[in-house]
Structure 1
Amino acid sequence: MLQSKKLTLALLINAALVSTAFASEQSESKGFVEDANGSVLFRTGYLTRDYKDVKPGTDTSSFAQTAIVKLDSGFTKGVVGFGVGVIGDASFKLGENGHTGNGMIPTHSKNNADRTKDAYDHWARGGAYVKARISNTTATYGTQVLDLPVLASNTARLVPEYFEGVLVTSREIDGLELTAGKFTKNQYSDQINSDGNQLDRAVVWGAKYKVNDAINTAYYGTDIKDRLERHYVNANFKQALANNSALTYDFSGYHTKWDAAADGSAYTYSHTSNDFDNLSNSIWALSATYNTGPHNLMVAYQQNTGNTGYDYGLGKGVGDGHQTVYMPNSYLSDFIGNDEKSAQIQYTYDFGAMNIPGLTWTTAFVYGWDIDVPADYKGNRSILATNDAQEREFFNQVKYTVQSGFAKDASLRLRHSYYRASDDYQAGYIGDTNEWRIWLDIPVKLF
């Protein structure tokens, strides 16, 4: 027992010595006002989906303008520093368009069949937060945009998804970042109510560790009350090659265990089992990326196992705006079907090599197969229509970012997805779709 206590004390002393080997963030604070910063992002967004077989003629085009504001104070000086901040957005739709169903524009009531008349013409959302910092540990309470592999805010729509709660991030040991938090409100991008998703409680925890300049590792977990428990792991290795080239290997994976709903149903839609107390999914992926000069080439393989796909979940309270999928085969489709396997090839070119700095083009093709699809989505799901449904997506994106001048950092992004699936998978997922997204972002620094 004495030896154990000595060993514990030695480890604590060693950790303290390591933590003092680099500067404390709080000791370098310049002050509440001096470190403050404020910005506004003016975004014009257009998103349209042309459904083919499942919903022919359905128009889900949305065209809108927003201003996303963030005002963030510095920390007061002293052993413990305090600060405050505000984040929010104010938006309005452009033209007559009032179409919804793509996460862009909120509605007064999503129960009406005619959603056009229910769309908001203009709307505003947001909230405030307080923060405290001691040494290299920061605690933030209030409205936040999260970037965690197990609880991520959807930022791929006009405005971001918000969570309300507390998040603690600690970097006391060089190379190690620890995270823990609890959130009790969740607001999707197209919701007005600050708890529109009716989140009860989501507890998150995790760590990421930079072993050295070549190796990075991470683990995160979440427990969403009465919905699911999810775990995420990642390992990344970058191998330097000759002529400033590099080869990067990446492994990532999730394991999810779903709770059964109070009425005995399931919160996940793609399950192929009637045992709702034992619904689980494991999804993992391996990728390799070769980079040389302006060229970036990636190949990836992704696979699901279990009796359900990697689902974001249906119903309220799941705490996921459809961005918590830090996997390589994720575009319009995330290739997350029950038992699905998928492979991808992606290529990115930087036109800076042709004296057009700021312009990039990314193209990718993903093919998924071996998807289990139930014959009856409302009845006995253990009977399959097929165990070999397929899907495929051809993705292209062009983005230009202004490099200098009065419009520096303004960007225009044009994205297109061509998605097709086999007949048995049409009703169970997206359905054949052509999607366009156009984003014009103009950031303005206030102070």
Structure 2
Amino acid sequence: MKKMPWIIMMGAGTVSPLMSGWVQAAGFIEDSHADLTLRNFYISNDTRNSTTPNIKEWAQGFMLNYQSGFTQGTLGFGVDALGLLGMKLDSGGNATKAGRDRTPGVLEPLSNGSPVDEYASLGLAAKMKLSKTEFRYGTLQPKLPVIYANDGRLLPQTFEGGQVTSKEIDNLTLVGGRLEHAKARASTDNQALSIGGAGNVPGTSNLRRSNAFYYAGGDYQVSKNLLAQYYYGELDNFYQQHFFGLTHTLPLPVGSFKSDLRYFVSDSDGKNGSTAGRAEGYTSTGYYGNGVTHGKVDNDLFSSLFTYSLSGHAFSLGYQKSSGDSAMPFINQGDGASVYLNTDRLVSNFTRAGERTWIGQYAYDFAALGVPGLTSTVSYYKGDQIASATGGLREWERDLIIAYVLPDGPLKGLGVTWRNATYRSQAAIGTADADHNRLMISYSLPLF
């Protein structure tokens, strides 16, 4: 697929010369809005009988999100800003302390082995609009099948790059972009991109990374109840990936039935495809025989989830199969990432080489009982046939989520979420068994 340097050219050639006139133009200020999100986050990970220390941390996060309107005219210009601030409330002491029973660094970055008291960053994005097509360059948080920004901790993961989104054709949304860096959830630094299993350069501790992730694709609303998707993603020198998706909702005389089908085809790109390149560290995790666990990207993954909904109840069953020598590749800096799968859970994502996963889930919306805003979900995931030198390995995870959002009143939107997970595995590196708890209180305050 042809890469897209034109994204950068558009940003440099059209946005910069007109920067000085933005704030004077009608529409830029009138359509601007901003909100402040407060997030109080507690995390507790019990590693059971593992030698890995437990995790218990508590922190307060602030997210200031500003979005301007567009200047008037054929070409409209604007700017977005995202300010992030994290403050430590309680942590696990020093990560290098001998005999410690808990370790810090999950919610805050470390300095000399100890979590910092606070950390902050500012992300900016210039934007341009022509008809129903928008271009953004700067800080982005894409939520697409081939690149999905993670927001599972105190502060969100962000990316740096450019993206074009077009809705010129009815029922069709087209997206294309190029990303260069990512900023982890507990960090203030932007780093080049990588994947799980990328090796170190021989003789050094430098992880192999890439400064170019290209993506393009679209969503087509075939009918009211049928959505078709195709996306392409390419991390230079690591992998190429095709995604195909279908989502269909069938109204029934009683309730409805939803089918969610997703298929990823992933292969090597550039140096990952050559023996010499893999020797440099351009590798993926997987199982390649004879005890080899790092090598060439080679994966097909099919995922399905079927849900019957009735009067607040939702019953789901699913099946997923990962085929090939490698695990399914996705952008992963090693410090928290998301993948566009129903199996992307609190602990595992069930994407290992050869893995087969069965899914069972039940969700209930208490609005059906007259308690709007209260929801609960319990789910179970059983994975087996994980490729290894000792044969097929197994893992399982049980997740429980209870959430409540105030539906009205002076604190409308105030939310409390408790997430609990029990995880057991023969295949996990480091912590094979773990019990996880997350408690989050959040509130978004509109400023203007």
If the length of structure 1 is used for normalisation, what is the TM-score? 0.83
Q: Which residue of 2 aligns with 1:60?
A: 55
1:270 matched to 2:274? The reply is no
Q: Which residue of 1 aligns with 2:319?
A: 301
- Bigger mean CA offset, 183-192 vs 259-268: 259-268
The 5 A counterparts of 1:195-214 are 195=191, 199-214=210-225
For structure 2, which runs of at least 5 residues remain unmatched after alignment? 1-24, 94-101, 194-208
CA drift at 1:309: 1.6
| Match among 406, 411, 414 for residue 410 of structure 1 | 414
Q: Which residue of 2 aligns with 1:328?
A: 342
1:255 matched to 2:265? The reply is yes
CA drift at 1:417: 0.4
Mapped contact 1:44–1:66 kept (Cα < 8 A):
yes
Could you report, residue by residue, the CA deviation over 1:227-278 in whole angstroms, capped at 9, with x for unpaired residues?
22222211011100114x1101111021222453564445322333459764
1:142 matched to 2:138? The reply is yes
Could you report, residue by residue, the CA deviation over 1:361-386 in whole angstroms, capped at 9, with x for unpaired residues?
1001111111112xxxxxxxxxx112
Could you report, residue by residue, the CA deviation over 1:71-96 in whole angstroms, capped at 9, with x for unpaired residues?
11001111111111111201111034
CA drift at 1:136: 0.3
For structure 1, which runs of at least 5 residues remain unmatched after alignment? 1-28, 110-114, 374-383
CA drift at 1:321: 6.2
Taking the aligned partners of 2:72 and 2:335, their CA distance within structure 1 comes to 37
Q: Helix, strand or coil for the counterpart of 2:90?
A: coil
Q: Which residue of 2 aligns with 1:21?
A: none
The 5 A counterparts of 1:213-252 are 213-243=224-254, 245-252=255-262
The 5 A counterparts of 1:416-431 are 416-422=420-426, 425-426=427-428, 428=429, 430-431=431-432
CA drift at 1:30: 7.6
CA drift at 1:342: 0.7
The aligned length equals: 392
Could you report, residue by residue, the CA deviation over 1:293-312 in whole angstroms, capped at 9, with x for unpaired residues?
11011100000100012244
| Match among 292, 299, 323 for residue 310 of structure 2 | 292
Cα 1:360/1:229, change in 2 over 3 Å: same
RMSD between aligned alpha carbons? 2.2
CA drift at 1:54: 3.5
Taking the aligned partners of 1:333 and 1:276, their CA distance within structure 2 comes to 19
Mapped contact 1:150–1:324 kept (Cα < 8 A):
no
1:362 matched to 2:367? The reply is no
Letter in 2 for 1:271: Y
Cα 1:196/1:311, change in 2 over 3 Å: closer
CA drift at 1:100: 5.5
Report percent identity of matched pairs. 25
Mapped contact 1:238–1:249 kept (Cα < 8 A):
yes
Mapped contact 1:163–1:183 kept (Cα < 8 A):
yes
CA drift at 1:192: 1.7
CA drift at 1:199: 4.7
The 5 A counterparts of 1:32-51 are 32-51=28-47
Cα 1:209/1:96, change in 2 over 3 Å: closer
The 5 A counterparts of 1:372-383 are 372-373=387-388
Mapped contact 2:285–2:293 kept (Cα < 8 A):
no
CA drift at 1:65: 0.5
Taking the aligned partners of 2:316 and 2:348, their CA distance within structure 1 comes to 18
Taking the aligned partners of 2:315 and 2:39, their CA distance within structure 1 comes to 30
1:385 matched to 2:398? The reply is no
